[in-house]
Amino acid sequence: MSNDTLTHSITFTETPATLTVVVDPTPQITRGRAVVVERRRPKAAGWSLLQGLGVVVDHWRKSFRKLEDPTQIAGTFTTEYPEERLPLPEAYRNMPILLFDDATGHELCTSCFQCQRICPPQVIHMTQAKDPETGKPVPAVSEFIIEYDACMSCGFCAEVCPFDAIKMDHNYELSTADHSSLTVHKAGLLRPVSYYQSIAPTFWAEAEASAYKKLEANKKRRPASIGIAPQMIEQVKAAHKLGDGQPEAASPPAPVATAPAPDAGSAATPASNAALATSEGDLPTDKAARLAAIRARNEAKKAAEQSASPAASAAPTASDGDLPTDKAARLAAIRARNEAKKAAAQAATDPAQPAAEGAATALATPDAPLTDAPPAPATPDAPLDEKAARLAAIRARNAAKKAAQAEEE
């Protein structure tokens, strides 16, 4: 068949007459052309077999030549695997690992959840660390789990990580008889930065500056030993004791972390509130005030949501009496919380306009003592915290207002 017959159109003869389809899928080939492959016949019987055998013999002959590197073509190149290994390219990716800073032990991960979100098989799970004192999330990760058994090594996690905290490891010898060990927890995932630098020097050189800059910023927001790799904690503690004598740096979390959170909807509110009041007594003023304000806001929100339950009205005001008077800011905030609760309860029992307004006015009062509250004596950064407390109280009031409005509707 020659070239020109290829452009002929095709007519289907077997299709029904009404549906005669004429198809010519051959495109106009501009650069290059259609070449018909040549069908060769052997020159003589057995010739081709000899020719093929020649190729094999040629290779056998070449196989005695030992090659230095695997990119060469003809010859033998042998790597005696368990003893020696071929160098892997930097881009090689197998399983994700987490990095921590060699010097300070701080993990680079800030639990931004980017990798968890992008992971196609959804094998990354993480929990953000919380400040044990305030309960606020901090830029550190408390638990990080990767299911290595379901990971598809696509490398998206390392690609999206804005902090260069998650990288792809080069270790490919992961086989194990223990399946459960393939669910790897944080301690098993963490590797020092120096390790990653050794396997991918140019990649790390590109990322290093921004990674450390971001880490420095995040370190400041990590209280106590949060965000330090478990394998480095002892070392870091020892260094602190030896160096500037600050054993508190890695002190255990304050007892408040274990205190039960107040629940507006439950009948046990008075008891838990009392517990709260006593445990708060141990805390420094500024922090306690802030905490109370935050709780107040949360209570107000919760109360609004659960306002139908009569238990909310049982919120006590008596516990306030136990508190020291100089902590005016804290008191004000707690009052704000209680007022909000009350207002919400009122709104629930009597959903008329005055109730909502009553809540608003009741909430307006705590502002007065707050504004001229004396600064807490011991702490140098009291004004700032006072401000924060006030801000929180205002926010609580606004939340209560909003709740009241919602109730009205």
Partner 1 sequence: MITTDELQINIGPQHPSTHGVFRMLITVDGETVVNLEPVFGYLHRNHEQLAEVNTYLQNMPYTDRLDYFNSMANNHAYALAVEKLAGIEVPERAEYIRVMMVELTRILNHAGAVGFMINDMGAWQTPLAFGIREREKILDLFEMVSGARMMCNYFRFGGVVRDIPDEFIPRLKKLLIAMPAYVDELERLLRENEILLARSEGIGILPREVAVSYGVTGPVLRGSGIAYDIRKAEPYSIYDRFDFDVPVGSVGDVYDRFLVRIEEMRQSRRILEQIIEQLPDASGGHINPKARQNVRPPVGDAYARVESPKGELGFYLVSDGGPKPYRYKVRAPSFINLTPLGDMCRGYKVADIVVILGSIDIVMGEVDR
| Residues forming the site for partner 1 (CB under 8 A) | 1, 6, 10, 12-14, 23, 25-27, 29-43, 45-49, 51-52, 54-56, 70-71, 73, 88-93, 118, 120, 152-156, 159-160, 168
- 184 beta partners: 146
User: Whose Cβ is closer to partner 1: residue 170's or residue 327's?
Assistant: 170
Least distance in angstroms from the C-beta of 60 to partner 1 = 12
User: Whose Cβ is closer to partner 1: residue 17's or residue 23's?
Assistant: 23
Comparing CA positions, the residue from 127, 98, 131 lying closest to residue 232 is: 98
Least distance in angstroms from the C-beta of 237 to partner 1 = 38
Least distance in angstroms from the C-beta of 126 to partner 1 = 18
Least distance in angstroms from the C-beta of 135 to partner 1 = 31
Quickly tell me which residue has 């993990």 as its tokens: 107
Q: What is the dihedral of CA 327, 329, 332, 334, to 10 degrees?
A: -70
SS3 142: strand
User: Whose Cβ is closer to partner 1: residue 27's or residue 252's?
Assistant: 27
User: Whose Cβ is closer to partner 1: residue 89's or residue 354's?
Assistant: 89
Token couple for 249: 């740096």
Least distance in angstroms from the C-beta of 247 to partner 1 = 43
Residue 203 and residue 190: Cα distance in Å, rounded?
Answer: 18
Cβ contacts of 28 within 8 Å, gap of 6 or more: none
Least distance in angstroms from the C-beta of 64 to partner 1 = 17
188: amino acid identity, one letter = G
Backbone angles phi, psi at 141, to 5 degrees: -115, 135
User: Whose Cβ is closer to partner 1: residue 10's or residue 174's?
Assistant: 10
**Contact call for residues 397 and 364 (beta carbons, < 8 A):** yes
Instruction: Tell whether the torsion through CA atoms of 371, 375, 379 and 381 is positive or negative.
Output: positive
User: Whose Cβ is closer to partner 1: residue 29's or residue 318's?
Assistant: 29
Least distance in angstroms from the C-beta of 256 to partner 1 = 39
User: Whose Cβ is closer to partner 1: residue 47's or residue 113's?
Assistant: 47
Residue 265 and residue 311: Cα distance in Å, rounded?
Answer: 6
Least distance in angstroms from the C-beta of 221 to partner 1 = 25
User: Whose Cβ is closer to partner 1: residue 91's or residue 308's?
Assistant: 91
Comparing CA positions, the residue from 158, 164, 168 lying closest to residue 118 is: 158
Quickly tell me which residue has 């680079």 as its tokens: 108
Least distance in angstroms from the C-beta of 20 to partner 1 = 12
User: Whose Cβ is closer to partner 1: residue 76's or residue 235's?
Assistant: 76
Cβ contacts of 177 within 8 Å, gap of 6 or more: none
Token couple for 336: 């704000």
Least distance in angstroms from the C-beta of 137 to partner 1 = 23
User: Whose Cβ is closer to partner 1: residue 153's or residue 379's?
Assistant: 153
Helix (H) or strand (E) holding 130: strand 124-130
Residue 346 and residue 354: Cα distance in Å, rounded?
Answer: 10
**DSSP summary character for residue 136:** -
**Contact call for residues 99 and 231 (beta carbons, < 8 A):** no
User: Which alpha helices (DSSP H) does 222-327 contain, by range?
Assistant: 233-242, 269-281, 285-305
User: Whose Cβ is closer to partner 1: residue 32's or residue 377's?
Assistant: 32
Least distance in angstroms from the C-beta of 92 to partner 1 = 5
85: amino acid identity, one letter = R
**Contact call for residues 240 and 250 (beta carbons, < 8 A):** yes
